[in-house]
Amino acid sequence: MAAELQEGERLRVDANQGWDLRTACAMAPKLAEFGLGWIEEPLMADRPLSEWTQVAAVAPARLAAGENLRGAGPFQEAIDSGLFGVIQPDAAKWGGHSGCLPVARAALAAGRTFCPHFLGGGIGLLHSLHLLAAVRGPGLLEVDANPNPLREGILQDVFSVHDGRVSLPGGQGLGLEPDIKPLLTLRSLHIERRA
């Protein structure tokens, strides 16, 4: 994959909390030849900072984490540690917009990159895009490349990419009144009760 990147494309790795300390310290240096933008969650999110420090010392790229952190305190600790170049709260997992916005601002103030995490349906993805736009930082929005009817069915052409950018819809709230009709074929149970 690294050899086939086109101009402007970037490569990142997500270990998805799959390594212990020994494995992370062995694997991270082996990734140096690929010019990674970051290594995401090489350890379980709840591992002590002493372990993250050891991984950061041998990692050839910035460490990214946050989708599995909960609470303002752990996020601030991660930001203050200087070990994470990319902070990735997931507004659907913790804090919503009101919790994640201060985290994003603190990350940017500390010179970190804010990249909201969300890989599910279209509403949460659009919410994350609004959160990213609200902080006006140099971050990215992570979007799963796999087909997802809960994304495409609701957003349709809202996420059209032009020159590497996506424009937010201009309406109130999220800027979009979702049309759930394309999702009706996905329902597994429908019950109506009338009084």
The mean per-residue pLDDT over the stretch 91-110 comes to 95
Can you tell me which residue has the tokens 């709260």? 89
Token representation of residue 18: 């799959």
Adjacent-strand bridge partners of 40: 14, 64
φ, ψ at 78 (rounded to 5°): -65, -40
Domains in the chain: ranges and CATH? 2-147 (3.20.20.120)
- Report d(CA 117, CA 145) in Å as an integer: 14
Q: Could you tell me the pLDDT band of residue 131, with boundaries at 50, 70 and 90?
A: very high
**pLDDT tens digits, one per residue of 16-38:** 999 999 999 999 999 999 999 99
φ, ψ at 82 (rounded to 5°): 75, 5
**pLDDT tens digits, one per residue of 168-178:** 888 888 888 88
- Global pTM reads 0.89
The mean per-residue pLDDT over the stretch 41-54 comes to 97
Q: Could you tell me the pLDDT band of residue 39, with boundaries at 50, 70 and 90?
A: very high
CA distances from 116 to 39, 129, 135 (A): 15, 8, 11
Q: Hey, how many other C-beta atoms are within 10 angstroms of the C-beta on 99?
A: 15
| Total number of residues shown for the chain | 195
**pLDDT tens digits, one per residue of 149-164:** 888 888 877 778 888 7
Q: Taking Cα atoms as reference points, which of 153, 119, 156, 116 lies closest to residue 137?
A: 116
Q: What is the reported pLDDT for 146?
A: 86
